Amino acid sequence: MGLYSKYIFPRMINLIMSSGQMKKARVSALANVSGDVFEIGFGTGLNLPHYPAGVKKIVTADPNPGMAQLARRQIAESGIEVDLRILNGESLPIEDNSFDSVVCTWTLCSIPNVGQALREIRRIMRPEGRFYFVEHGLADDPGVRKWQNRLTPLQRKIGDGCHFNRNIKELIADQGFRFEKLDNFYMKKAPRVAGYMYQGIAVKA
């Protein structure tokens, strides 16, 4: 892992992803999370203040140790016990059917083999488990899509693997999920190429 990914990118993410509108999306995405919780792409721990009061412990996966280093500060302030694991979401050393809730926020854009990661998420969910997500991705507007496709090669470099043009709905549905809830919207203060959101809850189909 290069110096940019380990030291600079986590600090950028910690700043950019702390905006008021992102906090609002985190609050609504996590409102019903309960039981045994797994968070994939934990980043710098920005979801921690927004878990419902009933959540006392979570297990997390993120392959970037630079993210984990910043996350430790959030963890210390959170009152939630966090089992912080440096792991690639494409291969989780976790038993099948282990979690009631799996959480993923603004991460499916960056995982190289995102289909494999979604299969892992589904595998570790209990039969009645729920997958809570808020992600940016491919827009509904052809004009925005055109720019998303054009700018993704550059964004992958700046954003440490991030794609603007992933169809999050299709990617999730293709791995054997059905949607209990799915909202699409543009985040108001974000550039439209990065601001088309998919927020919802998916269960095993």
Ligand X SMILES: C[S@@+](CC[C@H](N)C(=O)[O-])C[C@H]1O[C@@H](n2cnc3c(N)ncnc32)[C@H](O)[C@@H]1O
Least separation in angstroms between residue 142's CB and ligand X is 26
- Does residue 137 interact with ligand X by CB under 6 A? no
To ligand X, the closest distance from the beta carbon of 94 in angstroms equals 13
**Is 44 in contact with 74 (CB distance < 8 Å)?**
yes
Q: Report how far residue 26's alpha carbon sits from residue 18's, in angstroms, rounded to the nearest whole number.
A: 10
d(CA 150, CA 199): 24
Which one of 60, 110, 152, 175 is in contact with ligand X (CB under 6 A)?
A: 110
54 DSSP 8-state letter: T
Longest dimension (CA), the chain: 45
Instruction: Indicate whether 118 belongs to the interface with ligand X (CB under 6 A).
Output: no
Output 130 or 136, the one with its CB closest to ligand X.
136
Please count the other Cβ atoms lying within 10 Å of the Cβ belonging to residue 142: 7
Give the tokens for residue 107.
């991460």
Tell me whether residue 64 or residue 101 sits nearer to ligand X (CB atom).
64
Of residues 117 and 144, the one with the C-beta less far from ligand X? 117
Q: How many CA atoms lie within 13 A of 152 on its CB side?
A: 16
Among residues 107 and 175, whose Cβ is nearest to ligand X?
107
In the complex, the smallest distance separating the C-beta of residue 155 from ligand X, rounded to whole angstroms, is: 11
Q: From the list 50, 59, 60, 64, which residue makes contact with ligand X (rule: CB under 6 A)?
A: 64
Closest distance between ligand X and the C-beta of residue 31, in Å?
Answer: 16
Quick one: CA torsion of 93, 97, 100, 105, rounded to 10 degrees? 50
Q: What is the number of the residue whose Cβ is closest to ligand X?
A: 43
Amino acid 202 reads A
Round to whole Å and give the CA distance between 151 and 148: 5
* Shortest spacing between CB 174 and ligand X, in angstroms: 18
Q: Which residue number, 61 or 139, has a Cβ lying nearer to ligand X?
A: 61
Near ligand X in 7-46, by CB under 6 A: 13, 17, 40-41, 43, 46
74 binds ligand X (CB under 6 A): no
CB 132 within 8 A of CB 103: yes
Q: Which residues contribute to the site for ligand X (CB under 6 A)?
A: 13, 17, 40-41, 43, 46-47, 61-64, 67, 88-90, 105-107, 110-111
